[in-house]
Structure 1
Amino acid sequence: PAAALRKPEVMAPAGGWPQLRAAVANGADAVYFGLSTHSARARATNFDEGAELDDVVAYLRHHEVKGYVALNTLAFDDEFDAVEALIRRCDAAGVDAIIVQDLGVMALAKAVAPGLPVHASTQQSIASADGAEFARARGATRVVVGRELSTAEIAAVVAHTAAEVECFVHGALCVSWSGQCLSSEAWGGRSANRGQCAQACRLPYEVLVDGAGDQADGAATLNYALSPQDLCGLEDVEALTKAGVHCLKIEGRLKDERYVAATTRAYREAVDAAWAKLRGDDADATPTVSRSDLAQVFSRGQSGDVDGLSAGFLRGPRHQSLVVGNAPRHRGVYVGEVLSVAPATKKQGLTLRVRSELEDLKRGDGVVIDGGADHARDEVGGALYDVKQVAGGFDVTFAKAVAARPWVRAGARVWRTADAAVDAKLRGLASSKPLRRTEVDVRVSVDGGELVVEIDDGVRVGAAKTPVVPAQDRPLDEASVAKALGQLGDTPWAPASVDINLGGGAWWCRAADVKDARRRAVESLRALRAPARASARAPPGAARALLERGDGSLLDDGFDESLLEFKVGVAVLVRDLDQCAAAVDYALTTPPSDDFAVDEVVLDFLELKGLREAVAAIRERAPGLNVVVAAPRISLPGEDGALEKLLALGPDALLARSPGQLRYFAGRDVELRGDFSLNAANALTANDLFDDAAALTRLTPAHDLGGAAVARLARRLTPSRRAKLEAVAHQHLPIFHASHCLYARHLSKGDSFENCGHVCERHTIHLRDEAGADHVVLADMGCRNTVFNAQAQSAADALGSWLDAGISRYRVEFVDESPAAVAAVLGAYRDL
């Protein structure tokens, strides 16, 4: 079905008060912000949940801008009292919605404040209409789809869900799907899903193809292979509007007010222009903020042809341009290429002759010399001390403190990282008066000895009266009344028309009385326009009531534990036919009574090729083994065919990895298991997933939980559900899961499966980090890449506590190990 035409909301980020004011001043329809805890941008200034939250909401209400609070991290069981308090505080303050990642937090919000709207965060990895409907069934009124969806795919989601759909339109692009990045967890001991992203995607790596790197002069060639350009969807606003998107979201809660002012104004004007065009109206085609301004305030420029701002995935995959790999941080506007270098002397600083097409390079501009990825941490730059225009470019001189480097030579790229003129322009926008968004009609009349002021927005009329008396000297006239009315002062409305009808009589009142009537009419209309929300709040302690199964006395769900023979069962996850054969060999040589007996094999093949043979081989060689087929981590619109092919294999169970897959497979004739990627980090989420129509028979906890936390989670579940937990005992952590394909980027000229030459079927890629560890990259059936940690992670130290907590199901996962390694690892765990 065709999407309903609607004008999308422009939503801006606010990491603090300066950014909040800048967003409002430049036309944001909504802002999103975090509180002191449980926000995915813990490094932002954020706002406290006390009186400051009331002040924020009051400020936004005054300007008729919606306020959404980001409670978008995973919550642990011992944090739910605090989370409940935050939800209650948001509800009492009158925020317009909370943005939530955790399914348990969604369940809690529904119990605590059912009238408080909930938006499903992009960290729920919503990639399809099934995913959107999964979230809507849990109370989400809006879903934020992944940044990896194209406009056409977003339109498909809009067309098949009753939830509002929001998408990102500008800002930083994570290389990994939001909610599916475990690099911070693996390498930094902290979690992006807990608001502590370590930005490992912005680090340099050496790309190894079939075990070999690109060596230059004996040194490894580094590449920022996982650092995408930023998203800039200005040219896609009209298409997104046609797609029926409800909200366009600007990323950037860590950015300053200049960035917020620039991006908000740019997208305000772009939405207004697109809307006018679609309605057949004239639109002002001259934007206040140019693309160059946006690049200057923040962009990860790569070359003279690549300014660091891209359409991301909005126009489909662009593997050749999304990640160039030269630099991971702000570059600004490209100046040009170094032609010659004059080292610093006692009289003047380092001087460069730069070939450039810029016209406005000037003294005081900030400049950096880019020596490529190998020298990104040893940059030369600073404010320009002197600039002289020469034929084809400039001679630029730095202060004497700026020293040259060996690589500062002809051919190096030069970028303007700061421009005082642009900075002044954007600071002016950030501190400007709020844009008027709504036109109203103002009417003044005299009726029965009272002057009546009415403000009409076309739907509602705010009105106020003030007494008038017969004039003794100077009666009211239209000019004096109009002067007293003014332009509605500090309100979000602008008078489209002012009709003053004094009835032909000679009346008088003070100008202050007219102003007061205008003020009260404004407040009257404001009250009529205020969003109404009657929230039937639950009594305090809802979180405790939902969680107190864990107190030991309420663990009985009618399941007789004495009937449960506590026997450890082991699943082995393999990724190719050789590993599969090794796992079956081990199972056949290990008696079922063994303490570490393998009773099922999980086939997580990255291509459909070989799956049918693997299923047949297991059925033939080991009929007693369960065969489980793993679905890909993400399923986009149009990829249902691949899921149907998995189902057609006739497995004993399917391992579902996304909310959309749970809904897609629910009610089908197959047993379903839920994987770690569903992010069950607490008992509320686990219970929600077990209660789902998918009827999960197994669930693997989120990898954000440490060993002790997994045991605590198990104890909070009833015995029958505890028996369904499957803990991963051994794995190479999947640190990134990306729609950007490293195989296509580095081994082909293609941008998709149709033109990449399927190089992933013939080659291997590893990423070597600065410590020398090689992390294998595998491409799945949807061309999405997973980077696996080089170091295997073992839960050997936690097995005892897991067994004590009643966990009887375990999984051992392999990535690219040899058959001999498969046998050795399984044998080692059996010997523990």
Structure 2
Amino acid sequence: MVELLAPAGTWEALKAAVESGANAVYLSGKSFGARAFADNFDEESLKKAVTFAHMRNVSIHVTVNTLVDNSELPALANYLIFLYTIGVDAIIVQDLGVAKIAHEIVPDLPLHASTQMSINNLDSVKMLEKLHFSRVVLAREVSLNDIKYICKNAKIEIETFIHGAICVCYSGQCLMSSMIGGRSGNRGRCAQPCRLPYTLMDEKENDLLQNADAGQYLLSPRDMNTLDLVPELIEAGVSSFKIEGRMKKPEYVAVVVNAYRKKIDTYYNKTAFPEKEVKKELSQIFNRDFTTAYLLDRPGRTMISDRKPNNRGLLIGRVQKYNKKTFVADIKLSGDLNIGDKVDFWVKVGGRVNTNVTELKIDGKKVESAHSGDVASIKLPGHVQEHDRIFKILDAKLNEKAKTFFNSSDPVRRIPLDITLTASIGEPVKIDMVDGDQIHCSFTADFIAEKALKRPLTYETTAKQMDRLGSTIYYLRKLECNIADSVMVPMSVLNDIRRQAVDILYKKRLQHFTRQKPKRNTKWEELLLPHQQHKKQTAQLMVAVDNIQKLSAALKGGCDDILFGGDSYHHQNITAAQYTQAAKLCQDTGAAIFLAMPRILRQSETDLTAALFPKLPIDSFAGVYVHSVGQLKEIKDLCDQYNKNLPIWVDYSMNVFNNATIETLKEQDVSGCVLSPELNMQQLKVITNISPVPLEVLVQGNIELMVSEYCIAGSFLGGLHTGSCTAPCTKQKLYLRDRKDEHFPIVTDQFCHMHILNGRELVMLAHVPDLIELGLNRLRIDGRYMSSSKLTETVKLYKEVMHKGKYHKIFQNNLIEKIEGNNFTRGHFFRGILSND
């Protein structure tokens, strides 16, 4: 049976998840979890959570899914040992370095690959199999057909999200919150800039959606809801269904888990499903409207909640009449309304008016509830208009129903218990128990049964005492009494032996999950010690370009290396002929050329590399840059197939943040790494000092803040939701403008992925001497969004500064300030990002 995996950010949410039907719960400790703003669990509450869940046959998966700095690795190691020792069933990991350390020191603790690893094809899954993962949480962008294919061909478990909020960007690939606010999603502190208002602009500052039927929340996706697709996902071979929501209230967790529990059970049991009731409850508890995301198609604008980025509630009527003097609105109801509910009026002028319903009238008489067809009157705190829509955003009755799953001290889900009581005169009283999981125990009392003088023990009396299971996890399913005639046993003895036996059962249930503290393994600590390094050479200047014109511009400026191809910012396919031409131009000028892979390749696109590879002059390329573990596997396989020795570098999209990750990649024959743009100068210094492979950093260019399957231009201008797109991205330059008048360029590659770029260009020209001093092997300029003329001048300047250092003339008379201008950023080189704590 498929596992139902529920979120918990608080103790109440954990209870709600378990009692409403989850098979497993994922949660976080106080550190290393990607939802730092949830309450989360300290060490004592983690122990308690594991015990609570295991007693009820529920697994606990702990998120250790942030990127980890070198300085945090010792604390991480201790934390992993703690998690293993208390019996955690699995950890969810993004950072390959975390996975390596976990495998070294707690090899029996299952590793699950977080959705933040952006795993969207079979090659990536197979690579993670090799890296000791037992489960992969697929990216939300994977289609149902691709899920079927991956499940059929993968050896490890596949987990998919089925309900809740979704990211507009590939998870783990988003730098927007990080770069514009210093709060990194990769470190658990995403500020959710996707939920803010934006304007789609052209170069002339025209609002392109001014006359369109569109809201302002152009990056705010609807919530995922796959209730109708549960049978197909089960039949696809998915092992675990994941509900998003560690920031959500326990009421939300209870309602959503209960809904999917019913859907899953009715599928397996072939019973009727209360569809109307369940769908209403799911919509009521929280929704931004719903979507199945990319499971069935590319939905375009129908995936976006562009008018409201938070809970929209359930439409329950319209304003029929409004009295401006008394502030009383008469509402023609299309749904139920109760005292205690909270409603939101979508006002045509002035935004929203919301209120808690404390008094409700029908025909002037106070009532507790009103129903569809009634005209109900309530008083409001602000003005509304006739025909304004009313949405119920909190249902008091549904919330009370949800609270029954976590507010009571008595369990909701119970395990059946069969009891046999044996009592004979002159013999000790004995009780035998076996629960629904076939766990047995026996307990013999000190009390010797006596002959009854007045009231002999009966089956009915015994059943009454045995059924007093109260706050235990059991209910009495069957009682068998072997009671001799005229025997007497006091009620206190019956109660005592029942309690004693249940305690024994509890301990036996937990024995299955008990682990010994692992032996100390310090091998991982060697990663943080100076050891034999790669031979450091003079730093080279690498320039990334996506067409021949830009390549020529970079060569004219005097670059050392070219990174050619990958994603085209001009929405054009890059052909084998262009790669061949690029290699020839570099050969003629003495520059080394490297092959760039696209940042995202869906399952249906993974064959493109295999088709292109034999058409390329591979021997002319100095190496290839990959963006995922799947691409790493594919390139290695192709090199083996064609007997080529092509050095492989991993690009910054693989979030290389510590030396444990570098060591992991080195073991997979990676020749070099581009470090995460979220690292600061001090962190770079530590990493480069002990790195066994050459390293590179991005020093100039418009950093990609998001890469997404969703395309704003195609969705709102190109009719993408109709099944085709008019490609408006090819007709003009596009920007997103935010509330602070910052402009973020939008480009669309040849695979129709949308890339949102930072409007403030990264410029580190003034600090090139310091960067070279760190021991970096390459500095990269991303020239894909630059004009050719600017690229030539920029490359020329960087080469001069790399050669002359601080003695270059630009460091005199404040010339560097004039060159850099005002609209630029130093990224995280000096400010860094917030810690995991």
TM-score (norm. length: structure 1): 0.86
Are 1:193 and 2:186 matched, yes or no?
yes
Aligned equivalent of 1:611: 575
1:148-547 correspondence to structure 2 within 5 Å:
148-208=141-201, 213-214=206-207, 223-277=216-270, 283=271, 285-286=273-274, 290-300=278-288, 308-338=289-319, 342-343=323-324, 345=325, 348-349=326-327, 351-352=328-329, 356-358=333-335, 360-362=336-338, 364-371=340-347, 379-384=352-357, 394=375, 396-399=377-380, 402-404=381-383, 409=385, 412-432=388-408, 433-436=410-413, 438-439=415-416, 441-444=418-421, 451-457=430-436, 459-466=438-445, 469=449, 471-473=451-453, 474-486=455-467, 488-496=469-477, 498-502=478-482, 507-530=487-510, 531-532=512-513, 534=515, 537-539=518-520, 545-547=525-527
Give the superposition deviation at 1:339: 6.0
What's the counterpart of residue 756 of structure 1? 725
| Counterpart selection for 1:717 from 691, 715, 721 | 691
Distance change >3 Å, CA 525–CA 181, structure 1 → 2: same
Amino acid at match of 1:96: D
Task: Compute the displacement of 1:648 (Å).
Answer: 3.8
Residue 707 of structure 1: which of 675, 681, 693 is its match? 681
1:708-750 deviation line (CA, Å, top 9, x unaligned): 32222111213xx1xx211111121211122222233112333
> For residues 731 and 362 of structure 2, what CA distance do their matches in structure 1 show?
52
Partner of residue 625 from structure 2, selected from 649, 655, 672: 655
Shift of the 8–495 alpha-carbon distance from structure 1 to 2, 3 Å rule, reads farther
Q: Check 1:47–1:726 CA distance in 2 against 1; reply closer, same or farther (3 A cut).
A: same
Is 1:821 aligned with 2:793? no
Do the aligned partners of residues 619 and 36 (structure 1) sit closer, same or farther apart at CA in structure 2, a change above 3 Å counting?
closer
Q: Which residue of 2 aligns with 1:579?
A: 550
SS class of match (2:676): coil
Correspondent of 2:763 among 789, 794, 797: 794
Which amino acid is 1:42 matched to? Answer: A
3-state DSSP of counterpart to 2:67: coil
Equivalent residue for 2:37?
A: 43
2 CA distance for matches of 1:460 and 1:393?
A: 56
Letter of the structure 2 residue corresponding to residue 704 of structure 1: E
Query: What code does the residue aligned with 2:11 have?
Result: W
CA contact (8 A) 1:468 1:508 kept: no
Classify 1:33/1:605 alpha carbon distance in 2 versus 1 (closer, same or farther; 3 Å). Answer: closer
Structure 1 partner of 2:369:
none
- Kindly indicate whether the alpha-carbon contact (under 8 Å) linking 2:566 and 2:599 is maintained by their aligned counterparts in 1: no
Alignment match of 2:593 (pick from 622, 627, 635)? 627
Deviation at 1:528, TM superposition (A): 4.5
> Hey, what's the Cα distance between the residues in 2 that align with 1:215 and 1:314?
29
1:802 aligned counterpart, secondary structure: helix
| 1:12 and 2:6 aligned | yes
- CA-to-aligned-CA distance 1:225-255 (integer Å, 9 cap, x gap): 1100111222222222222222212211111
Indicate if the aligned counterparts of 1:455 and 1:522 stay in contact, CA closer than 8 A. Answer: no
**Partner Cα distance (1:487, 1:8) in 2:** 34
Change (3 A) 1:521 1:224: same
1:638 aligned counterpart, secondary structure: helix
Give 1:74 deviation, angstroms: 0.6
What is the CA deviation profile of residues 308-331 of structure 1, one whole-angstrom value per residue up to 9, with x for unaligned ones? 122223333322311141111112
Q: Which residue of 2 aligns with 1:305?
A: none
Instruction: State the distance in 1 between where 2:123 and 2:638 align.
Output: 15
Task: Provide the identity percentage.
Answer: 26
Flag structure 1 segments of 5+ consecutive residues without an equivalent.
1-6, 278-282, 301-307, 591-596
- In 2, are the aligned partners of 1:384 and 1:396 still within 8 Å (CA)? no
> 2-side partners of 1:215 and 1:327: how far apart?
19
Q: Distance in 2 between matches of 1:198 and 1:767?
A: 18
Secondary structure of the structure 2 residue equivalent to 1:290: helix
| Higher mean C-alpha deviation, range 315-324 or range 9-18 | 315-324
- TM-score of the aligned structures, taking structure 2 as reference length: 0.85
Q: Please list the CA deviations of residues 76-98 of structure 1 after superposition, one character each: whole Å capped at 9, or x if unmatched.
A: 00111221221122122222222
Name the residue aligned to 1:4.
Answer: none
- Mark the CA change 1:603 to 1:819 in structure 2 (over 3 Å): closer, same or farther: same
Q: Deviations over 1:116-150 (max 9, x none)?
A: 22222111112223222323333322221112223
Partner SS for 1:823: helix
CA contact (8 A) 2:224 2:292 kept: yes
Once residues 206 and 672 of structure 2 are traced to their aligned partners in structure 1, the CA distance between those partners, rounded to angstroms, is 41
Secondary structure of the residue aligned to 2:22 is coil
Match of 1:681 in 2: 657
Matched-pair contact (CA < 8 Å) for 2:339–2:359? yes
Three-state SS of the structure 2 residue aligned to 1:105 is helix
The aligned counterpart of 2:708 is 738
Spell out the pairing of 1:18-97 with structure 2 (5 A cutoff): 18-49=12-43, 51-97=44-90
Q: Is this contact kept in 1: 2:745–2:757, CA < 8 A?
A: yes
C-alpha spacing 1:763/1:332, structure 2 compared with 1 (3 Å): same
CA distance in 2, matches of 1:825, 1:798: 14
259-268 or 433-442, larger mean C-alpha shift: 433-442
Deviation at 1:34? Answer: 1.4
Deviation at 1:614, TM superposition (A): 2.6
Q: Following the alignment from structure 1 to structure 2, what is the Cα–Cα distance between the partners of residues 633 and 519?
A: 60
Partner Cα separation in structure 1 for residue 797 and residue 391 of structure 2: 55
The corresponding residue for 1:640 is 606
Q: Which amino acid aligns with 2:411?
A: P
Query: Contact 2:565–2:597 (CA<8 Å) still a contact in 1?
Result: no
Indicate how the Cα distance of structure 1 residues 160 and 489 shifts in structure 2: closer, same or farther if over 3 A, else same. Answer: farther
- Give 1:538 shift: 3.5
Q: Which amino acid aligns with 1:285?
A: F
- Map Cα deviations across residues 462-483 of structure 1 (whole Å, 9 max, x no partner): 3334465353344433222222
Kept in 1: contact 2:330–2:377 (CA 8 A): yes
- Residue 222 of structure 1 and its aligned partner are, at CA, apart by 5.6
**1:320 counterpart letter in structure 2:** R
The RMSD of aligned alpha carbons is: 3.1
Letter in 2 for 1:659: V
Q: Deviations over 1:278-322 (max 9, x none)?
A: xxxxx353379632222222212xxxxxxx122223333322311
Which AA in structure 2 matches 1:17?
Answer: W
Deviation (angstroms), 1:23: 1.7
